[in-house]
Amino acid sequence: MKASPSSATAIRRQIEAQIRQLEIDLSHFEAWSLAQLGFGHSLVDDAGVAFDQATQLTLRQNTERRLSQLQHALQRLETGFYGLCEGCGETIDPERLLAIIDARLCVSCQRMQERSPLGRLAAMA
């Protein structure tokens, strides 16, 4: 999908706004991690802290993955490949891009990827 200059600007703004929010979220994870250094004085305290740390780590990893996906979408927008499926090269349905601004695959390729035993398309490997 070759985005018009005005739609490309709107898409860029949306992606950049989401990136900024995720960067803020990551800074909160940093602050939380520093505040939680050390363990308590009982096994229950230690278990609770360990659970909180595991939860925060998972949330942080998800945030980092999402940030990477958005940065990739921004790069594709800048290079003129935004809206083209990375699996088959066809145009991704604009309604899909409205729902998932960083979609990398058309619906057909996404289905194939989800059904793949490795969870990815051979072309993306």
The band of 107, judged by pLDDT with boundaries at 50, 70 and 90, is very high
CB of 66 closer than 8 Å to CB of 60: no
Same domain? For 15 and 29 the reply is: yes
Q: What is the pTM of this model?
A: 0.75
Separation of alpha carbons 31 and 3, rounded Å: 39
Tell me which residue range forms the domain holding 6. Answer: 1-80
Number of domains in the chain: 2
Helix axes 43-79, 5-35, angle to 10 degrees: 160
Same domain? For 69 and 14 the reply is: yes
Same domain? For 61 and 98 the reply is: no
The band of 54, judged by pLDDT with boundaries at 50, 70 and 90, is confident
Same domain? For 44 and 100 the reply is: no
Percentage of residues in the chain having pLDDT higher than 90: 58
* Predicted confidence (pLDDT) per residue in 5-50, tens digit: 778 899 999 999 999 999 999 888 776 665 555 555 665 667 777 7
Same domain? For 33 and 47 the reply is: yes
Q: What is the mean pLDDT of the chain?
A: 85
